[in-house]
Structures are given as C-alpha cells and as structure tokens.
Amino acid sequence: MMTQPIWPPPPRTIMTPGPVEADPRVLRAMSYPMLGQFDPAFTALMNETMALLRRLFRTSNRQAYPVDGTSRAGLEAVLAGVVEPGDRVLVPICGRFGHLLHEIAERYGADVRVIEREWGTVFDPEDIIRAIRQYRPKVVALVHGETSTGRLQPLDGIGAACREYDALLVVDAVATIGGVPVNTDEWLLDAVVGGTQKCLSVPSGMAPLTYNGRVERILAARRRIERGIRPPGGGDSERPFIRSNYLDLCQLQDYWGPERLNHHTEMTAMLYGLREGVRIALEEGLEERFRRHRLHERALVRGLEAMGLTLFGDPACKLPVVTCVNIPEGVDGESVRAMLLERFGIEIAGSFGPLRGRIWRIGTMGYSCHMRNVLLTLGGLEAVLLRHGMRVPAGEALQAAMEVYEEEQAAQAARQA
C-alpha cells in the first residue's frame, strides 16, 4: 500500500459514482483572481449563478443558490430549515443515502417514519403515496438517484400527493442533476439539492439547491438575524430558530439576496467553478447531455455483458449514470480495483452495507462520460480479470462497445441526411 503522498497528484481516469474528473474549463475558471465578497463584480457573478441554477433545476423559484460545503451540507441545510423537533418526516429507503436522510432528520428531532425496499430496487410511487396518506408527514425526503445501488427512483405523482396532504417534498438529486432530467417545477418538488462532484464535473465543495415559496414561508417564521449584526429590537423568530448557524437557510438567502446581509465569506474559487460547470452543461443543452450519458451507459453495459459479467439490480429502474456489476464468484473485488488503479490509473468503486464486497460501481458522469474512458475501462478491466484467473472472452468487450458507438454514428448520419 502507498504510505507516502505523491505530489503533484497522479493523473487518473475516474470512473466512480463521484467524484469524477473535473472539466478543464472549470479548473481554469477556479484559477482566476480573487474578488472581495461584496465587490460588485463578484455579486454580479452570484446573481448570474443563481439564474443559471434556475435553468439547471428547471425552475422559476426565487431561491436557487449554493451552500458552501459538500452535497451533505445542502441536504442538512434543507432539513435543518424545515424540520422542527417532533415534526413527522417520511423517508423511503432503498439504499445508503436514504439512510442518510433518516440520520439527518433524526438529529434535528424529527419523528421519522421509514418505509424500506430491498437494495437494488426502488419504490412504486403509489407505495410512497399510500405511506403519505397513512403517516401524514410534514416532510417527505427521498433520494432521486441512489448511487449505492445504481437505481433511479420514479417521482411520478409524489409531488401532487404531497400538495394534497400538505407535505413538503425534499429530493436528493446529488447524483442526477446535470446527467438525468430533474424537473423541479413540473414534478412539484418543494426543495431539491444537487451536487457538484458528479454530473457537473466540478470539484466537491458546494451544494447547489433550490426551494419554492412553500419552503420560504416556513423559513420566514424561523428567521433569526445573527447577534452582532442584528438591528435593535429586531431579528427574533416567531417559531424555534434553526439550530445550525452555518447551515441556516434564512441567513443564507439573506446573504444571496439583495440585502447581502453578511453571513460567511463566500468560497470565491468554488463559485467560479460552479458557474463554469453549469454554463458548460447549459451550453451542451440538457437534453443532449442526458442523451450523451445514456449513450455511454449503453456502450459500457454492452461491453460488460460481452465480457461475461452480470449487472446488479432491477434493470427497469437503472440509474443511467451508475452501472453496478456483480463481482464474479471467486474473484477478490478489492484486488481487482487495486490492480486497475495501479496498472491502468483507472478508478472504479465498491459499495456499502449489504453490498460491500458484492458489487463494483462504475460511473459514467459529466466530463468522465466519454468514449475513450469507457473503452479504457473495459480494456483495463478485462486485462485485470484475466490476471485474476477469470476466463474472459478476450477482446469481445471492446468490440461490443465499439459497435454501440458505430450504431450511434450511423443513426446520427441518418438523422442529418
């Protein structure tokens, strides 16, 4: 095992479900000169980033901005803002990150009700709607793209049911924003949290989010201006104030809003990176970007199956940007991952909990999602499996993936003719 750090960091082909390779345009943007947080040039960038995020989330919400911190900071900020001690929260769980939502809500004093499905499956939306009718929660918190299992949760009708029973729908779209459709307004999602380090190909460190007027009204009753900048006789909340200072959405929206009420020092370089990452996604076109992710998923899957490997989970709800592969019997999965990284510089992931040691997870996300990376990964994995004594039909994986790309080229030519 490597004990001493290597500097500068070695180049890698990162094919995990996050982080992924950062887009070079993002890295260049992050190297630009610093600006003061109240410099008009910087506040203009803040405003532009909010407008870009509205387009990314497909929403007209007033509130769309990043929380400084990893994706988990965004999830915690939303739940800290809408959950008061004793509030009932419904969490449908079919993977690790559903358990995370349970954990966060519980820490803020929620009365958490859970429904569970086997890992590798998702819920029929009707099952969630029935649970909403049964438990009458204040908040429903669920994961859109569960990267621990590689599954995509359908959201059809859940938002409408939440409106009918006066519940808020909070969605973890960390793995899906920028790679899979996330239609905030159309699906009646009240709060959505995205991630930077996955399909947006921006380094981890910000959690873009959006929430609507239903959430804003709850926050308004909990607003408390921080001591030291609180005006005389003002700033007290009507209801119990949010327990976290750093993750207080009331203070954050005051900071991002026209008041520019100081809260923290904004992460200048990260904002440059986020702005550029979202600009890249919108320049490509969201529908074209979704199509690209599905193309490379299809090539990867065709190659893995030609290699004789099998996929984990229900194929009907597969997450397009994460492919889960059953580790063949008798093969040391961690040894395969280590050799793939050491000999080829390619990183794939294992999994968690009941799936630890049972599957590999291969991401096709953002800047990492292109033909060269897919072909390198298939070729490297084939070679490593052969070194581990597995009988693999040599060369078949690459040929199968290349056929997918040739089919796509022919289809494009036909469309243009």
Asked whether residue 272 falls in the same domain as residue 320, the answer is no
Q: Is residue 10 one of the residues assigned to a domain?
A: no
Phi-psi region of 394 (alpha: psi -120 to 50; beta: other; left: phi over 0): beta
The tokens describing 277, both together, are 């990452």
pLDDT of residue 211: 99
Asked whether residue 36 falls in the same domain as residue 146, the answer is yes
The tokens describing 210, both together, are 């959006």
How much is the pTM? 0.97
Q: Is residue 7 one of the residues assigned to a domain?
A: no
CA pair distance 206, 56, nearest whole angstrom: 15
Q: Is residue 147 one of the residues assigned to a domain?
A: yes
**Residue 356 in this model has a pLDDT that exceeds 80:** yes
**321 to 26, 105, 275, 309, 373: CA distances (angstroms):** 20, 27, 22, 18, 14
Asked whether residue 108 falls in the same domain as residue 239, the answer is yes
141, 334 contact by CB (below 8 A): no
**Mean pLDDT of the 332-357 span:** 97
Tally Cβ neighbours within 10 Å of residue 283: 10
| CATH code for the domain of 300 | 3.90.1150.10
pLDDT of residue 171: 99
CA-based max dimension of the chain:
76
Strands 88-93 and 139-143: parallel
Asked whether residue 52 falls in the same domain as residue 156, the answer is yes
Asked whether residue 247 falls in the same domain as residue 314, the answer is no
Asked whether residue 251 falls in the same domain as residue 348, the answer is no
| CATH code for the domain of 227 | 3.40.640.10
The predicted-structure confidence for 218-253, as pLDDT tens digits, reads as follows 999 999 999 888 888 766 777 899 999 999 999 999
10 falls in which pLDDT band (50, 70, 90)?
Answer: very high
Asked whether residue 277 falls in the same domain as residue 293, the answer is no
Q: Is residue 400 one of the residues assigned to a domain?
A: yes
Closest residue by Cα to residue 44 from 281, 284, 272: 272
CB within 8 A of 287, min separation 6: which ones?
Answer: none
Q: Is residue 6 one of the residues assigned to a domain?
A: no
Q: Is residue 3 one of the residues assigned to a domain?
A: no
pLDDT of residue 237: 78
Question: Domain containing 123: what range?
Answer: 24-281
Domain boundary among 281, 297, 323: 281
The percentage of residues in the chain with a pLDDT greater than 90, rounded to a whole number, is 94
**248 to 176, 253, 266, 275: CA distances (angstroms):** 25, 9, 15, 23
∠ CA 229-235-238, nearest 5°, is 155
Asked whether residue 264 falls in the same domain as residue 337, the answer is no
Asked whether residue 271 falls in the same domain as residue 302, the answer is no
Mean of the per-residue pLDDT values for the chain? 96
pLDDT of residue 2: 56
Domains contained in the chain, number: 2
pLDDT of residue 113: 98
Tally Cβ neighbours within 10 Å of residue 356: 12
CA pair distance 23, 295, nearest whole angstrom: 19
Domain boundary among 281, 307, 324: 281
Asked whether residue 210 falls in the same domain as residue 332, the answer is no
Asked whether residue 43 falls in the same domain as residue 186, the answer is yes
Asked whether residue 250 falls in the same domain as residue 359, the answer is no
SS3 breakdown of the chain: % helix, strand, coil, rounded to 5? Answer: 45, 15, 40
The predicted-structure confidence for 55-113, as pLDDT tens digits, reads as follows 999 999 999 999 999 999 999 999 999 999 999 999 999 999 999 999 999 999 999 99
Domain boundary among 224, 252, 281: 281
The predicted-structure confidence for 170-201, as pLDDT tens digits, reads as follows 999 999 999 999 999 999 999 999 999 999 99
Q: Is residue 93 one of the residues assigned to a domain?
A: yes
Q: Is residue 401 one of the residues assigned to a domain?
A: yes
